[in-house]
Chain A
Amino acid sequence: MNRGIIKYLGLTVVLLLLQFLVLNNINFMGYVNPYIYILAILLLPYRITRWMLLIIGFTLGFAVDYFSNTLGLHTTASLVLAYFRPVILNRWSFKSVQDIRGVPDVSNTSMEWFIVYALIAVLVHHFTLFILEVFTFKHFWLTLVRIILSTAVSTFFIVIIELLLAPNKMTK
């Protein structure tokens, strides 16, 4: 149990560093900035209590905000994701072979399931993030394009990282 917590904290720190030092400096086509730190929310155990989930989401978002000039923006987005995570897990769990004691990663589900799970979670997060950042429906289509492109890229990175994390545990 303790080792799990330490491993999780280590992963979170690595994800945040990767986010600030590498990914925040990448601009694909001037529109797309991938956000991978939400993997830390995705990989929390199934049985975590909802209020704990909310507090972790809030704290994680605040940490990201603190380092990137956007006080409150990422806090809100990752809080919303933390709120909806149980909803997402309940709705899309039917295809997975969930071990209710573990964490929702590829090691105890399938590759396809994890991609869908990550995609939906990233979409929820990015939708909140970009709508809040623009805060107008004036250039709605442009915002929508940004959301879709960023979601695709973020999901890609998250799945890659998840595969790197659990290469030998993969069940296929």
Chain B
Amino acid sequence: MNNLYEILKRLYIHLVFLILLGVSLSLYFNTTYYQKSQVSAVTKSITGFWHKQASKVSNLFQLQRSNVLLLLENVKLRNEIEGYRLKLQMLQDSLMRIDDTSGVFRYIPARVIDNSINSRHNYITLDVGSNDGAYKGMGVICKNNVVGIVSATTKHFASVISLLNTDVRVSAMHKKSGSFGALSWDGMNYRRVVLDEIPLHVNVAVGDSIVTSGFSTIFPKDIPVGRVVDFYIKDGSFLQITVELFADFKTLTYVYLVDSKAKNEIDSLQTMK
């Protein structure tokens, strides 16, 4: 008995270490990334203020570039509007009544106030929150790319799991053929992601466009993701495609949150069985 006490006395500090290590490791492995960002959503309100001030300064330096890009986007959108106006005219001519179910998606503009690309699990903070209509599970896109999925919101801020997070998978498809697969990041190069599970018979060429499939209700169909830069046969049964992203996540400034009106309806249909 005395012996046991002696041993315990000698080893207790190591036991304390092992117990604390067990606690911290189980904290790390037993919480999902959603839960982790939930915890920090509380503190986001505090740090968000600072990040907002800091990003005001860094945005100043990008103004010139942003202006040019906006101008180009404006021109493109104007041209598109003209095209649609023409189509609308044609449709109105041929339709007796105008259906009211159009416009399944609504967009909320937001500004990036905190962003990282150097971790394996990157997060983005936006300056819109539940007050502006943001909610958990919304898709986030920018002008020419999928950006991520909202993981938590406070009144004025939202935390987004970036596409550059090794745990995020987005359904995407090869535009030319329409065959779809899962898009994910391997954590290596922040400009490149990997599209998996494309069948072998699909005719893929370097330079082909990859877009969202629209199967998950999070993102609309045909949001651009990137272009094919490389592909090879994986395990002899599927193609693995390396996709170069259109957007540079390092310079992300303005994004749009996707509010899907059909989401609840489709989700409830799928859970109904």
Residue A91 CB within 8 A of the other chain: no
Q: CB-CB contacts of B9-29 with A at 8 A, as 1s and 0s? A: 000110011001101111111
Q: CB-CB contacts of B108-120 with A at 8 A, as 1s and 0s? A: 0000001011111
Q: Chain B: interface residue count, which band?
A: 35 or more
Residue B54 CB within 8 A of the other chain: yes
- Nearest CB of B to A85, in Å: 12
Residue B130 CB within 8 A of the other chain: no
Residues of B within 8 A of A51 (CB): 12-13, 16
Q: CB-CB contacts of A48-70 with B at 8 A, as 1s and 0s? A: 00110011001001100111111
Q: How many A-B residue pairs have CB under 8 A?
A: 88
Determine whether the beta carbon of A30 is less than 8 Å from that of B117: yes
A58 to B24, CA, bound (A): 8
Interface centre among B21, B28, B114 (most CB of A within 10 A): B28
Residues of B within 8 A of A33 (CB): 118-119
Determine whether the beta carbon of B123 is less than 8 Å from that of A61: no
- Given the known A-B contacts A31-B118, A54-B16, A54-B17, are A72 and B40 also in contact in the complex, defined by CB atoms under 8 Å? no
A65 to B27, CA, bound (A): 10
Determine whether the beta carbon of A72 is less than 8 Å from that of B31: yes
Determine whether the beta carbon of A83 is less than 8 Å from that of B17: yes
Q: Which of A19-27, A35-43, A103-111, A157-165 contacts B (4 or more CB under 8 A)?
A: A19-27
Determine whether the beta carbon of B20 is less than 8 Å from that of A79: yes
Residues of B within 8 A of A79 (CB): 17, 20-21, 24
Determine whether the beta carbon of A27 is less than 8 Å from that of B116: yes
A50 to B14, CA, bound (A): 10
Interface centre among B16, B17, B36 (most CB of A within 10 A): B17
Determine whether the beta carbon of A72 is less than 8 Å from that of B25: yes
Q: Chain A: interface residue count, which band?
A: 35 or more
Residues of A within 8 A of B121 (CB): 69-70, 133
Residue B62 CB within 8 A of the other chain: no
Q: CB-CB contacts of A5-23 with B at 8 A, as 1s and 0s? A: 0000000000000001100
Q: CB-CB contacts of A67-90 with B at 8 A, as 1s and 0s? A: 111111101100110010000000
A53 to B16, CA, bound (A): 11
Determine whether the beta carbon of B24 is less than 8 Å from that of A67: no
Give the dominant DSSP class at B's interface.
helix
Determine whether the beta carbon of A71 is less than 8 Å from that of B31: yes
A50 to B54, CA, bound (A): 40
Determine whether the beta carbon of B28 is less than 8 Å from that of A76: yes
Q: In this complex, what residue of B is CB-closest to A78?
A: B24
A21 to B47, CA, bound (A): 8
Partner of A142 from B36, B117, B188 at Cβ < 8 Å: B188
- Nearest CB of B to A65, in Å: 8
Residues of B within 8 A of A134 (CB): 120, 187
Residue A152 CB within 8 A of the other chain: no
Determine whether the beta carbon of A69 is less than 8 Å from that of B188: no
A51 to B250, CA, bound (A): 42
Residue B50 CB within 8 A of the other chain: yes
Residue A148 CB within 8 A of the other chain: no
Determine whether the beta carbon of B120 is less than 8 Å from that of A69: no
Residue B37 CB within 8 A of the other chain: yes
Interface centre among B20, B29, B47 (most CB of A within 10 A): B20
3 closest Cβ contacts across the A-B interface?
A72-B28, A72-B27, A75-B24
What are 22 pairs between A and B in contact, CB < 8 Å? Answer: A21-B47, A27-B117, A27-B118, A30-B117, A31-B118, A33-B119, A54-B17, A58-B24, A66-B39, A67-B40, A68-B40, A69-B33, A69-B36, A69-B37, A70-B36, A71-B28, A71-B36, A72-B28, A72-B31, A79-B17, A134-B120, A139-B187
